[in-house]
């Protein structure tokens, strides 16, 4: 059973701080990694993807991947109250597998 | 640009009634299509995925079925709803394997 694990939170940070969200996965053959943001009552929206070890930056967001440790993280710099949402980590195992396996998500609250 | 439409947004159905949720994608051809369900505290569960017309793969045994009568149309159905079918149903598409999935607005189904 391929699993994606996230701390459910809630993770609470003050406005302007760095929020760090973590995710581990069980399938060592996983090839593609995604972070989605989901506001309450809404559908998930893609914010980042990463395929290679290392860091990938996009504005205030940085995704970090360490395949040896089977670990992927998302850093949000200068956190804003509008960043308050549930963040979902998703993993695709590649090959003939077309499916994304999602973690249960981490609830982030940014306090003004 | 590609868009995905899913309807209705909310639905209240009695136990034992049938169900039909429809999803269509515009602006792309031969997408991979997915149906997910999100229940409280359980994360996103993949129900069905399809790589082409008439090709449906089921992930979990359940009271639901899916069909893909046209390239960009994906339908989720049930002959008789159960209380346990309540949840947030999400349709998604991806361009090809190993790439990100994009979600529709979702349907919140309450079975009473």
The phi-psi region of residue A29 (left if phi > 0; otherwise alpha if psi is between -120 and 50; otherwise beta) is alpha
Which residue in the set B44, B100, B102 is minimally distant from A102, CB to CB? Answer: B44
Cα-flanking dihedrals φ and ψ of residue A82, to 5°? -70, -10
Distance from CA of A105 to the nearest CA of B (A): 7
- On the question of pLDDT at B73 being above 70, the answer is yes
B103/A43 Cβ within 8 A: yes
Write down the mean pLDDT value for chain B: 92
What does the pLDDT read at residue A96? Answer: 60
A32/B49 Cβ within 8 A: no
> Which pLDDT band holds residue B75 (cuts at 50, 70, 90)?
very high
Rounded alpha-carbon distances, angstroms, from residue A86 to A4, A54, A101, A106, B50: 15, 24, 16, 5, 27
Question: Per residue in A40-98, pLDDT tens?
Answer: 999 999 999 999 999 999 999 999 999 999 999 999 999 999 999 999 999 987 666 67
- On the question of pLDDT at B100 being above 70, the answer is yes
Q: Classify the C-alpha dihedral A10-A16-A17-A18 as positive or negative.
A: positive
Say how far apart CA B9 and CA B32 lie, in whole Å. 22
What does the pLDDT read at residue B39? Answer: 87
User: B interface mutation test: which of A43, A90, A97 has the most B CBs within 10 A?
Assistant: A43
- What is the average per-residue pLDDT within B30-55? 90
Chain A positions in Cβ-Cβ contact with residue B42 (cut-off 8 Å): 104
DSSP string, chain A: ---EEE----EEEETTSPEEEEEEES-TT--EEEEEEE-TTS--EEEEEE-SSEEEEETTEEEEEETTTTEEEEEESS--GGG-EEEEEEEE--TT--PEEEP--EEEEEE-
Distance from CA of A91 to the nearest CA of B (A): 9
- What is the average per-residue pLDDT within A12-19? 97
Structure tokens at A3: 């699993």
- What is the average per-residue pLDDT within B52-60? 89
Q: Which residues, at least 6 apart from A26, have a Cβ–Cβ distance to it below 8 Å?
A: A1, A2, A3, A4, A5, A70
> Which pLDDT band holds residue B82 (cuts at 50, 70, 90)?
very high
CA B26 from centre of chain: 16
Distance from CA of A42 to the nearest CA of B (A): 7
Chain B positions in Cβ-Cβ contact with residue A7 (cut-off 8 Å): none
Chains A, B: CB contacts within 8 A come to: 52
As a 3-state breakdown, chain B gives helix, strand, coil percent values, each rounded to 5, of 5, 60, 40
**Residues found in chain A:** 112
């Amino acid at each position: 059973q391929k699993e994606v694990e996230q701390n459910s939170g809630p993770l609470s940070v003050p406005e302007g701080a760095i929020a760090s969200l973590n995710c581990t996965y069980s399938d060592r053959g996983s090839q593609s990694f995604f972070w989605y943001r989901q506001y309450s009552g809404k559908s998930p929206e893609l914010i980042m993807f990463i395929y290679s070890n290392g860091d990938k930056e996009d504005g205030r967001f940085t995704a970090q991947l360490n395949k040896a440790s089977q670990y992927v993280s998302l850093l949000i710099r200068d956190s804003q109250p509008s960043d308050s949402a549930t963040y979902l980590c998703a993993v695709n195992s590649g090959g003939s597998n077309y499916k994304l396996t999602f973690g249960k998500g981490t609830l982030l609250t940014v306090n003004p | 640009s590609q868009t995905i439409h899913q309807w209705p947004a909310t639905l209240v159905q009695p136990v034992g009634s049938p169900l039909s949720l429809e999803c269509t994608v515009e602006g792309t051809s031969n997408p991979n299509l997915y149906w997910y369900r999100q229940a409280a505290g359980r994360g996103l569960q993949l129900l069905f995925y399809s790589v082409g017309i008439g090709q449906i793969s089921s992930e979990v045994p359940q009271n639901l079925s899916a069909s893909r009568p046209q390239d960009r149309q994906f339908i989720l159905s049930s002959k008789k709803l159960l209380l346990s079918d309540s949840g947030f149903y999400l349709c998604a598409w991806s361009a090809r394997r190993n790439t990100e999935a994009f979600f529709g607005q979702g349907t919140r189904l309450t079975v009473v």
